[in-house]
A and B are shown apart, each in its own frame.
Chain A
Amino acid sequence: MSSILILEQSLNGLQFGLMLFLLAAGLTLVFGIMDMINLAHGSLYMLGAFFAATLVQATGSFFLGVLLAIAATALAGMLLEVSLLRTLYQRDHLSQVLATFALILILNEAVRLVWGSDAALSMPAALSGPVELVPGLMYPSYRLVIIAVGLAVAVLLFLLVTKTRMGMLVRAGASNREMALAMGVNIRGLFTAVFGVGAALCALAGAMLGPLLAVQVGMGENILILAFVVIVIGGIGSIRGALVGSLVVGIVDTIGRAFLPLLFGAFLPPQFASAAGPAIASVSIYLLMAVVLYFRPQGLFPARG
């Protein structure tokens, strides 16, 4: 129990938070612009990881394989948007929930049919070793790469949303869709593009996390709910909110799991601590969400205004 351990867990939290951000960013824009709930977002994450597993093996290069997987998933996402999701924008939320829930079932089985229940995706050999960050802290270099990629994408996305014309249209759409339409914004095309970007980010997260977690059917479902928590905390439609929410959720979750059992052990009798520690740790982010919502029902950075 030292500053080294705390630093290590904080880095883990940062790494997890940044990957959550990749998922949450696409999700929050889809929600924000079209007011559409898309449960199948997690399925795109799964699809991206499976594409990456196959393509990394086929090309023999991790970098190239992941790049191709991102392109393939973006294409799949846009195809999905044009063929099916587009018809759901005008429907009520219940129809959207059920249709995209059906999509989860369908995509899960489709992946099972094509790939089986899981696939192997290992990190590149050059990145599999640890590096010594500060004396006494050996940190896996692959996780550092994830942090670097996550930060780079976050910056790129931020620039895309705040500095480009497309970003301006996206923000206009998220802030007031009718007004943006009235001003002549091509929301349809814009949304297909946004959906493609969201799918690409999903694939990136799935491919990067694949070697750390397992590439398996259903992998997208638990992380999808975390992404929901993130955008509820951050405020729907806000990239800034998604970033802050992701980092908060990633760090609270990781730190909570690592230290709450220890903390409880220091104060409470062991049999109670061993039961309560993991329980509280696993619900900590949901409690956080409840507290945020109680004070700010629209999240920390509401995009609509």
Chain B
Amino acid sequence: MKTGIAQIVAAVALLAAYPLVMSAFDNLFYVSFASRVLIYAIAATSLNLVLGYGGMISFGHAAFVGTGAYVASILVAEGVTSAWIGWPAAVALSALAALVIGAVSLRTRGVYFIMITLAFAQMMFYLVTSMKAYGGDEGLSLPARAELGFGLDLGNEVTFYYVVLALLLAALYALHRMNHARFGRAVVAIRENESRAEAIGLPVYRTKLACFVIAGAVGGLAGALLASHGKYVNPNVLHWIQSGTLMIMVIIGGVGRLWGGVIGAAVLLLLEHLIAEYPIGWLASLAPNYQQHAGLGVGLVLLAIVLFAPQGIAGLFSRRARAS
């Protein structure tokens, strides 16, 4: 993790200048698109905490993102439009969901843990689908984004972008600090060797659960932002394909690396967007419908990364391989 201060300042400056440039060109669509990327970056970063730092292969992270999205949306639909209530409520309930699911799932390990988190997420998916009062499988449309007050209008794409960016940077900073704190060291120690960590007196189960809950809470925040961003939520945010997509982001970006989630989210969403919007001439003449089969490309790329570059993109830039 030897990213220099200069590089970080440059990255943040670029991210901060981006909406100003785009709105100068009157291109608000790409500001909105970037907000979506940043929201997914928060979600992927929260998953990276469990997956990369904690070494817990949670295949149900969409459950927490979805819980946050639904809590925030239902509050708005019921007339509670303040983000100061909606977002903390989303975070709190996602944390609660993570606490309950984690408390049961973390009693198991290995393959069991993967399948159980997956199954619980699918349970949440069916639960949400059966909530007919809030749209069932049709989803729930919102009249407007949540309200922040202080003269900040979240309906404005540029304002929304900066709010999301601030939250992402806060999450990254918290993750960075956690890495160098006792808790973060304990999480990594448990990943590396659970029995040894237990033998030196670390509270293994409690530390893992805390890590799982924090990740769930941050995932819930991403969900609340996602619902606000699209002014719409449907059960697909909890579908297991979504959990898989978040995992893909983490692995593409770099497992257990600070910027892994951000890079992965950006690369994957950008690729998807480019494939869907910009037909490549020679490829289209070769295979006319190739844009409808983007899954094939994503699958092949993912397979190649897993087989040949397990350190992800962040790993390619850093000469020092993660000790694992």
Q: Which residues of A contact B (CB under 8 A)?
A: 31, 35, 37, 87, 91, 93-95, 97-99, 101-106, 108-110, 112-113, 221-222, 225, 228-229, 231-232, 236, 274-275, 278-279, 282-283, 286-287, 289-290, 293-294, 297-299
Contact = CB atoms under 8 A, between A and B. Distances in A.
A105 B131 contact: no
Interface of B: 51, 57, 59, 104, 107-108, 110-112, 114-116, 118-120, 122-123, 126-127, 129-133, 240-241, 244, 247-248, 251, 255, 293, 295-296, 298-300, 302-303, 306-307, 310
Given A98-B251, A282-B126, A286-B119, A35 B302 contact: no
Q: Is the interface of A mostly helix, strand, loop or mixed?
A: helix
16 contacts: A35-B110, A35-B111, A93-B111, A102-B300, A102-B306, A106-B295, A106-B296, A229-B119, A232-B112, A232-B115, A236-B112, A274-B132, A279-B131, A283-B127, A290-B120, A293-B112
Contacts of B59: 97
A273 to B, nearest CB: 12
B115 A282 contact: no
A103 B303 contact: yes
A225 B122 contact: yes
Nearest to A27: B115
Contacts of A279: 126-127, 130-131
Interface centre among A97, A102, A231, A297, by most chain B C-beta atoms within 10 angstroms, is: A102
A65 B165 CA distance: 57
Nearest to A108: B295
A97 B240 CA distance: 13
Contacts of A282: 123, 126-127, 129-130
B107 A228 contact: no
A289 B119 CA distance: 9
A210 B104 CA distance: 35
B57 A94 contact: yes
B248 A236 contact: no
Contacts of A110: 296
A95 B60 CA distance: 16
